[in-house]
């Protein structure tokens, strides 16, 4: 499939805008973000009207009321979206930060500077607030955005992008820095995935199937985000009161998010003391336990776990549970079935905590804390574009610095590299320095 003219037009516009946007300092970017926030509020009637058309269509398609609620915009919700943009304007600018630097032995001044990535593609599902949030985070970090939202929010997204572009027209940031991929078909998503050379990175935000299809089909480099099969491991040395609290919080405080726990692993040494308490507490919170045979022995309400339960990201009031014979068995289970998002250990033992942290290969490891803290806001990033579960470029919550690359700059006074070392001809004739 070759890209359509419509797609190439917006992708090239984004690339051109990225070139103009990249060298801008903080002040004009912040001013542009505030202009966007003001325009969203000023034009919220127009935005809500377009959104209403999406909602009507969703109702016709038999969409659930839960999803309709996620899709719907009100004046209050537009205000919240605008306020988030103002908060992004208040964050420090990652661009231009000197990441590393030194004066080399030959006198060259070497600096590694943070620079924007260029054009960031976002493929996402669900709520139209992502449209504004992603565009604002990219703009703040000096990147142009190519947005490809859910077709169910196409009318809303079209107006939101138009409002942002028109707000930018009065600022130093080129209006082309925020672009919506035209069309609502599957082809338009594929065009974005194949736009190597025009798009520098693609970030899918959504469910596991969206992410896996982007990873499979994209020739543009992808940052995988957000699938969370998080584990709580209750160690032989655990404080069992704490373990119950952490388990309940990790599972039930907000079950629909990626850092909620989906699997409980209990060391056999504390199973007799812990599992009955855990089952009672989980039942009290309305959680269904899908347990292996050793868990099932402690309660009649336990649903027998199939192997796929241990791979599941339920995002609901369900949890898989198993008894393990050692910390190493817990780690093996996590490696085998987990999604490398966040795993928690509850233990009083420094040795067990050290060992769990060393052996678990996930984006985040929590010691005596709920998995729910793996979050850009909790980590103090101020904003988050997603939680990376891959190992390249960014891992864990991604803030503004994760939307940047770097550039090496070295400054000399005529430094030449020779087989005998550096020579600087201007220093009173050719003088070898090293």
Interface residues for a second copy in 195-234 (CB under 8 A)?
Answer: 196, 200-201, 215-216, 219, 221-223
By CB under 8 A, residue 398 contacts a second copy: no
Among 307, 308, 325, 413, binds a second copy (CB under 8 A): 413
Angle at the Cα of 360 from the Cα atoms of 337 and 366, rounded to 5 degrees: 105
Among 391, 427, 431, 432, binds a second copy (CB under 8 A): 391
Contacts with 180 (C-beta within 8 Å, 6 or more apart), sequence order: 10, 131, 147, 148, 149, 157, 158, 161
Q: What is the smallest separation between the CB atom of 68 and a second copy, expressed in angstroms?
A: 24
Cβ burial 97-126 (10 Å sphere, 16+ → b, else e): eeeeeeeeebebeebbbbbbbbbbbbbbbb
Q: What is the smallest separation between the CB atom of 163 and a second copy, expressed in angstroms?
A: 29
For residues 155 and 237, which CB has a smaller minimum distance to a second copy in the complex? 237
Looking up tokens 């890209």, which residue turns up?
Answer: 3
By CB under 8 A, residue 415 contacts a second copy: yes
For residues 242 and 269, which CB has a smaller minimum distance to a second copy in the complex? 242
What residues are paired with 48 via a beta bridge?
none
Q: What is the smallest separation between the CB atom of 61 and a second copy, expressed in angstroms?
A: 33
By CB under 8 A, residue 364 contacts a second copy: yes
Task: For residue 29, give the 3-state DSSP assignment.
Answer: helix
Residue 297 per-residue DSSP state = T
**Binding segment toward a second copy, per CB under 8 A, in 34-42, 73-81, 111-119, 306-314:** 111-119
Q: What is the smallest separation between the CB atom of 215 and a second copy, expressed in angstroms?
A: 8
Among 110, 208, 236, 281, binds a second copy (CB under 8 A): 110
Distance between CA atoms of residues 196 and 322, nearest Å: 44
Among 92, 301, 306, 408, binds a second copy (CB under 8 A): 408
In this structure, are residues 418 and 401 in contact, taking their beta carbons and an 8 Å threshold? no
By CB under 8 A, residue 428 contacts a second copy: no
Site size with a second copy, rule: CB under 8 A: 72
By CB under 8 A, residue 405 contacts a second copy: yes
Task: For residue 255, give the 3-state DSSP assignment.
Answer: coil
Distance between CA atoms of residues 390 and 346, nearest Å: 25
By CB under 8 A, residue 393 contacts a second copy: yes
By CB under 8 A, residue 256 contacts a second copy: no
Among 21, 35, 47, 115, binds a second copy (CB under 8 A): 115
**Binding segment toward a second copy, per CB under 8 A, in 68-76, 125-133, 169-177, 350-358:** 350-358
Backbone angles phi, psi at 200, to 5 degrees: -85, -30
For residues 302 and 353, which CB has a smaller minimum distance to a second copy in the complex? 353
By CB under 8 A, residue 382 contacts a second copy: no
By CB under 8 A, residue 52 contacts a second copy: no
Looking up tokens 């400054």, which residue turns up?
Answer: 411
Residue numbers 284-343 binding a second copy by CB under 8 A: 335
Among 3, 8, 22, 41, binds a second copy (CB under 8 A): 22
Q: What is the smallest separation between the CB atom of 339 and a second copy, expressed in angstroms?
A: 12
For residues 174 and 397, which CB has a smaller minimum distance to a second copy in the complex? 397
By CB under 8 A, residue 117 contacts a second copy: yes
Distance between CA atoms of residues 425 and 428, nearest Å: 7
Contacts with 425 (C-beta within 8 Å, 6 or more apart), sequence order: 414, 416
CB count within 10 Å of CB 72 equals 17
Residue numbers 69-108 binding a second copy by CB under 8 A: 102, 104-105, 108
Angle at the Cα of 390 from the Cα atoms of 230 and 407, rounded to 5 degrees: 140
And the tokens for 128? 């139209």
- N- to C-terminal Cα distance for the chain? 55
């Amino acid at each position: 499939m070759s890209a359509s003219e419509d797609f190439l037009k917006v992708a090239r516009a984004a690339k051109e805008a990225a070139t103009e946007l990249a060298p801008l300092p903080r002040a004009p970017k912040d001013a542009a973000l505030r202009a966007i926030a003001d325009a969203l509020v000023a034009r919220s009637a127009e935005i809500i009207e377009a959104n209403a058309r999406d909602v009507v269509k969703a109702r016709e398609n038999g969409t659930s009321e839960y999803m309709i609620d996620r899709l719907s915009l009100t004046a209050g919700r537009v205000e919240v979206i605008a306020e988030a943009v103002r908060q992004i304007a208040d964050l420090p600018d990652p661009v231009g930060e000197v990441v590393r630097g030194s004066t080399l032995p030959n006198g060259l001044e070497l600096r590694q500077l943070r620079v924007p990535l260029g054009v960031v593609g976002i493929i996402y599902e669900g709520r139209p607030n992502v449209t504004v949030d992603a565009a604002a985070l990219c703009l703040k970090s000096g990147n142009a955005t190519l947005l490809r939202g859910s077709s169910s929010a196409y009318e809303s997204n079209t107006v939101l992008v138009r409002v942002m572009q028109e707000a930018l027209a009065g600022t130093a940031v080129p209006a082309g820095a925020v672009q919506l991929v035209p069309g609502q078909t599957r082809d338009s998503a594929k065009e974005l995935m194949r736009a190597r050379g025009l798009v520098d990175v693609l970030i899918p935000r959504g469910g596991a199937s969206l992410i896996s299809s982007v990873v499979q089909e994209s020739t543009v480099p992808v940052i995988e985000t957000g699938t969370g099969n998080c584990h709580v491991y209750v160690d032989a040395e655990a404080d069992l009161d704490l373990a119950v609290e952490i388990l309940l919080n990790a599972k039930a405080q907000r079950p629909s998010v990626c850092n909620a726990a989906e699997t409980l692993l209990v060391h056999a040494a504390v199973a007799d003391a812990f599992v009955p308490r855990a089952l009672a507490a989980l039942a009290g919170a309305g959680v269904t336990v899908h347990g292996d045979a050793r868990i099932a022995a402690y309660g009649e309400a336990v649903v027998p776990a199939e192997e796929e339960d241990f791979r599941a990201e339920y995002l609901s009031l369900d949890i898989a549970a198993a008894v393990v014979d050692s910390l190493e068995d817990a780690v093996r289970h996590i490696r085998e079935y987990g999604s490398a998002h966040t795993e928690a250990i509850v233990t009083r033992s420094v040795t067990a905590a050290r060992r769990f942290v060393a052996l678990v290969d996930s984006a985040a490891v929590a010691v005596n804390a709920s998995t729910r803290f793996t979050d850009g806001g909790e980590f103090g990033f101020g904003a988050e574009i997603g939680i990376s579960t891959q190992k390249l470029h960014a891992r864990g919550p991604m803030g503004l610095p994760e939307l940047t690359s770097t550039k090496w700059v070295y400054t000399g006074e005529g430094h030449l590299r020779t087989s005998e070392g550096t020579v600087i001809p201007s220093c009173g004739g050719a003088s070898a320095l090293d």
